[in-house]
Amino acid sequence: MADESGFFITLEGIEGAGKSTVLPFLAEQIEALGYTVERSREPGGGPLGEALRAIFLNSDLQLDAEEELLLLYAGRRNHLRGRILPALAAGRVLLCDRYEDSTIAYQGGGRGVALERIEELSRWAGITRQPDLTFWLDIDPQMAAERIRDRRPDRMERENIDFFRRAQAAFARRATEVPERFCRIDASQPLPQVQEQLRQALLARIPVRSLRDE
């Protein structure tokens, strides 16, 4: 959008990569650059998205890839119209835990849906805005699985390790397909080092804003 002055930043990676852990740190770093930050997540991002998230992650339900896609894109359209675009138009930074790259990784890589099919649905749903910057927390799927070993698994976390390997490989492909916005972070390192990588990457890509927008 021509009148936008905000930034759309996403965090991506397989479960256990550390996205939720680093999100508050990243928000603080962006605020220190002079921006107002709005945090969000997918599935989620508003009342409709959160309701759909509960369905999406419900282990009692059996959904096929197409049903997953339809739920995700209903939520994404509502999230984009209701929160993301208004935040960007107001000059804020919209910091989101997962977005469309997750669909390409999980439904595309993990479930085997063709990328063209996902792109067609995305166009149909009116997903006109992609992130300006994506931090991909890259980690070996086995190491990531060990980090979340003691957790009660949701519907997606019940998938086997090969599913997450395929999702991981799809994220790696994304990094080569959209290198202008994909920023790889080595998420296997201890937390302080992961945070330092994020801080440096942010400083290199997002300009300091001298006055707060609100």
Residues interacting with ligand T5A, by CB under 6 A? 13, 15-21, 42-43, 72, 97-98, 102-103, 106-107, 147-148, 156, 190-191, 194
Q: Please, what is the minimum distance in Å from the beta carbon of residue 159 to ligand T5A?
A: 8
Would you give the DSSP letter of residue 211?
S
Tell me which residue has its CB nearest to ligand T5A.
18
**What is the DSSP track for 42-69?**
SS-SSHHHHHHHHHHT-TT----HHHHH
Q: Please, what is the minimum distance in Å from the beta carbon of residue 106 to ligand T5A?
A: 3
Residue among 151, 143, 152 nearest 188 (CA) = 143
Q: Please, what is the minimum distance in Å from the beta carbon of residue 153 to ligand T5A?
A: 9
Q: Are 74 and 195 in contact (CB under 8 A)?
A: no
Closer residue to ligand T5A, CB minimum distance, 5 or 58: 58
Q: Please, what is the minimum distance in Å from the beta carbon of residue 214 to ligand T5A?
A: 28
Closer residue to ligand T5A, CB minimum distance, 88 or 198: 198
Closer residue to ligand T5A, CB minimum distance, 151 or 212: 151
Closer residue to ligand T5A, CB minimum distance, 149 or 211: 149
Q: How far is CA 88 from CA 79, 84, 119, 131, in A?
A: 13, 6, 23, 11
Residue 110 phi, psi (nearest 5): -65, -50
